[in-house]
Amino acid sequence: MYLRVKPPHGEIVISAPTRMKDAAIASFVHSRRSWILQQQKRVRAAYQNAIEHIGGTDSPQTSATQHIEWSESTKQQAAQNIQSQLPQLLDHWGAIIGRGPTHITLRLMTSRWGSCTPATGRIRLNLQLGLMESRYLEYVLVHEMTHLWARGHGEQFQRHMDRYLPDWRQRRRELNRMVLW
């Protein structure tokens, strides 16, 4: 069973096998009540920091009232912003981390900033990073590249991140205050 709290208002989405009884689903949701309330509060607070692409300008800004409208030109701009930074970031961090991705894919994601498949070396980055300060792209890229060495987010992963990017926790906190669209 999968439970998710969606932006911007904290709607609850549950995915469960069709054969699962309604009572079991209700029990699961009830057992996760405090987590749900906490996530809804986080999502609503993040909505206050939603990224807005104002009036066709090239610079994203924060807004409490609207969110990005993802036109083809906005997607292209975001992709170009990321692609223009990637060569330098990959050269720099590949030398430090000692391993680089085999392939990077850019796409709009609604529930994460990036992901990594260590077995194949593939990294996926959220297109939304292309409309943010470059420090967030750097953090997500380093985070995902670190997964090429350390699976999960345990002590080994955290030690690597502390060594590579000492302020990674602060960047993560800031980034997670923003809404994923």
In CATH terms, the fold of domain 72-176 is Zincin-like (3.30.2010)
The Cβ of residue 103 has, within 10 Å, a number of other Cβ atoms equal to: 10
pLDDT 10s digits, 27-84: 999 999 999 998 888 777 766 555 543 334 444 444 433 456 678 888 999 999 999 9
pLDDT 10s digits, 46-57: 665 555 433 344
pLDDT 10s digits, 89-120: 999 999 999 999 999 999 998 778 999 999 99
The predicted model scores a pTM of: 0.70
* Domain locations along the chain: 2-47, 72-176
Query: Of 129, 130, 160, whose CA–CA distance to 146 is shortest?
Result: 160
Query: Of 89, 179, 77, 166, whose CA–CA distance to 134 is shortest?
Result: 89
Q: What is the pLDDT of residue 58?
A: 46
Q: What is the pLDDT of residue 72?
A: 87
3-state secondary structure of 103: strand
- Retrieve residue 137's tokens: 């792209």
Q: Which alpha helices (DSSP H) does 32-176 contain, by range?
A: 33-47, 72-97, 134-146, 155-164, 168-176
Q: How far is CA 59 from CA 7, 55, 68, 106, 116, in A?
A: 22, 10, 12, 19, 28
Query: Of 105, 107, 112, whose CA–CA distance to 178 is shortest?
Result: 112
Contacts with 33 (C-beta within 8 Å, 6 or more apart), sequence order: none
Q: How far apart are CA 2 and CA 8, in angstroms?
A: 19
Q: How far is CA 12 from the centre of its chain?
A: 19
Contacts with 115 (C-beta within 8 Å, 6 or more apart), sequence order: 109, 123, 124, 144
What type of residue sits at position 130? G
